[in-house]
Structure 1
Amino acid sequence: MFWFVFLLLLLGAGFYFYQKMMSIEREIRAEQEAEGGSAAQVQEPEKSSVDLPEMKPFDKDNNSATTTPEQTAAEKVIISAVTKSPGTKQTDLYVLFPDTGRKQLQQTIKNMADNGVLRREKQGSSYLLYLA
């Protein structure tokens, strides 16, 4: 009987704290909306420490001597950016591909590294990219 009462008290306390956390979350969301948007919209994006080359994505004039005919336009842009700025962070390249998903771009860069076109060095939560 004692364990049953203890279990009921434990469930009641859990429900109480769940409701309390939900009300705190609602208050935070209301404050964020009052400030003009969600937290993702309010925060400024982190500035890049690497100067990326001035170029338009998929520009036909960005062909370098290291590209081959079977490479995609995205691979050519990546190679061009890494050639102009060795040690570029992988996350800094995302701005060159606004219409491409990050997962797809990450997979392209990983495939390029697996094929020996690029060399990736882990730094924090990103990679530094170099030509192989």
Structure 2
Amino acid sequence: MSDNQHDIFFARIEQNIRQHAKHQRITLSELAAGIDMTEAGFYKMLSTESIKVKTLRKIAEFLKIPIHTFFGEFVSPRGSAQSPSWKPDQIGITESHAEYAAERDGLKRQIELLESQIADKNKIIELLSR
């Protein structure tokens, strides 16, 4: 991800955190306290673009919203959406469904192979224990 894409990505997350808190009439100070962070630490996290998934999860739980809402355009409960300032391909989200399906199939084959190996080892143990 280029520096510009990185900046856009984190700017979108920060913007969504701020907008969801504002929509719920929660100050960022209250949000920080609600996720057991100091206000200074919370603002530093936003300004240094060092938001961990664990922290995003806490923020989402505190705001009672799904975590994925931080990554898309802000949509208020009334249904009005703000025009997104980025597109998925700008932040490296271009993998196709086919790529994931191929990876999933490969993992399934690995699981089957491992289960077969376990079954073989269990047979060996059974024979040796006789």
Taking structure 1 as the reference length, the TM-score comes to 0.24
Q: Which has the higher strand share?
A: 1
Q: Which has the higher helix share?
A: 2
Select the structure of larger CA radius of gyration: 1
Taking structure 2 as the reference length, the TM-score comes to 0.24
